[in-house]
Structure 1
Amino acid sequence: MRSWIHSVKPLGDFSQAANPLQPAHPPSPLPPLLEAASDTSEQEDGPLARALALLFEPSPVLFSTLIPALVSHIQNAPPILSYYALIDASLSVIASWPDDLRAQFIAGHPRIGEVKGLSQLSAQEQAAKATPPEVLARLAHLNACYEHRYPGLVYITFVNGRSRAEIKDEMEEALGLEHSLSPEEPPVQSVGQVEVGSEEWRQELARAIADVGKIAKSRLKTLGVEPNPAEP
């Protein structure tokens, strides 16, 4: 199995439930669109990188690969008129990548149920309500089951205001498992495994990337950025 599969971050600490999130400070504001769309510096502290890290979560592949590719794309495409169009342009670039880079990109998002080391936006999305510890423990097991079934992938879903308990049910249904609060059943190895690069594996990768796009556009609304009605 290729080495990039083993670079996916380890499962987080699910030992404590998160309290309802009330951040002391609002998320960092987006740079002005014109600054981001015209930034060709490719620097991690440049306006384009800061904007994409806020919308997509920071990750090595975002800085090393997406930023340079997006700069080239913007220079050879019609003007970017909104942050929504910038997200669409980013997804278009990502769609052209090989599987390993796309898998690395989605791995930049935290796992469902993680409670430590989250960005403010990710914490708001995942922990709008306090989560019982038994749900967090079940999510940790479901993440392990999912990552056994789909080597190299992490489970990504557009939470859209749902509780972690609701996402637990969604994950069980996606894996064909019964609803439960067991932190260890069924055994991870019993879930079965999908071959890396197979049609099912690539469909799941594509679904995850599409949900990352939905999350990014939802974050724009959280930050007070509405779609441009003049755009198609």
Structure 2
Amino acid sequence: MALPQPQDLCKADEAGQIQTLDLLFEPSPAIHSTLIPTLRDSQYTSYPELIDACKTRLFSLASSSSSTSPDETLLSILGSHPRLGAKKVDSAQSAAEQANLQGEGEELAKLNREYEDKFPGLRYVVFVNGRGRPEIMENMRARISRGDFSQEVDVALQAMCDIAKDRAYKLGVKQ
């Protein structure tokens, strides 16, 4: 499925905007309510430009959040990504992106639990980008050991935007 022309999104109906956000990010009412105004506010000439504007909005939301008082919308956005190695993944894009992570699911499930215990309300998000399970699990361990909630939020949001740019590239634009 190809994406609509980015310059048409500001005029698209809400259903079309939601469908585009679901393809770029993940299906999530919190993503919709946070980012639809970004789609409507400007006319974008490219998907990287649009995604950078979404990133600015997401980081603005994150700046008002802390580990002691996390923003519920932010947590919902970060929680929209499937757990790495999960058996049931809602979006076809996530399933394809995680294809290299199949097998040895118990260890990945254990690391997901450790991560979520260390960072309540967060979900581990990483741009897999073809990396295999050992490299991803090492990244998870390093981030758990670092233990910095605010940095985790920033890293996860950056990963979501990197994933969105990769998806936009792979999906292409309707001509």
Q: Counterpart in 2 of 1:197?
A: none
Q: Do the aligned residues in 1 keep the contact of 2:7 with 2:46 (CA within 8 Å)? A: no
* Residues 1:174 and 1:71: Cα distance change in structure 2 (over 3 Å): closer
Deviation at 1:116, TM superposition (A): 1.1
Identity %: 38
Deviation at 1:72, TM superposition (A): 5.3
Return the letter of the residue paired with 1:32.
Answer: Q
Deviation at 1:144, TM superposition (A): 0.6
Higher Cα Rg, which structure:
1
* Residues 1:71 and 1:166: Cα distance change in structure 2 (over 3 Å): closer
Alignment of 1:32-181 (within 5 A): 32-39=5-12, 41=13, 43=14, 45=15, 47-67=16-36, 69-71=37-39, 73-74=41-42, 79-97=43-61, 98-99=64-65, 100=71, 101-127=73-99, 129=100, 131-132=102-103, 135-176=104-145
Task: Give the number of equivalent residue pairs.
Answer: 165
Once residues 25 and 155 of structure 2 are traced to their aligned partners in structure 1, the CA distance between those partners, rounded to angstroms, is: 15
* Residues 1:170 and 1:203: Cα distance change in structure 2 (over 3 Å): closer
- 2:32 match: secondary structure: helix
Which runs of 5 or more residues in structure 1 are unaligned?
Answer: 1-27, 177-193, 195-199, 226-232
Return the letter of the residue paired with 2:129.
Answer: N
Which runs of 5 or more residues in structure 2 are unaligned?
Answer: 66-70
Return the letter of the residue paired with 1:148.
Answer: D
What TM-score, normalized by structure 2, do the two folds share? 0.84
Deviation at 1:104, TM superposition (A): 1.7
- 1:116 match: secondary structure: coil
Q: Counterpart in 1 of 2:68?
A: none
Q: CA RMSD in A?
A: 2.1
Return the letter of the residue paired with 2:167.
Answer: R
Alignment of 1:197-208 (within 5 A): 200-208=148-156
Provide Cα deviations, 1:138-193, integer angstroms capped at 9, x if missing partner. 111111100110111110111011123431232123334xxxxxxxxxxxxxxxxx
What TM-score, normalized by structure 1, do the two folds share? 0.65
Return the letter of the residue paired with 2:10.
Answer: A
Once residues 153 and 212 of structure 1 are traced to their aligned partners in structure 2, the CA distance between those partners, rounded to angstroms, is: 13
Provide Cα deviations, 1:82-102, integer angstroms capped at 9, x if missing partner. 111111111111222233222
Deviation at 1:130, TM superposition (A): 6.8
Q: Does 1:218 align with 2:139?
A: no
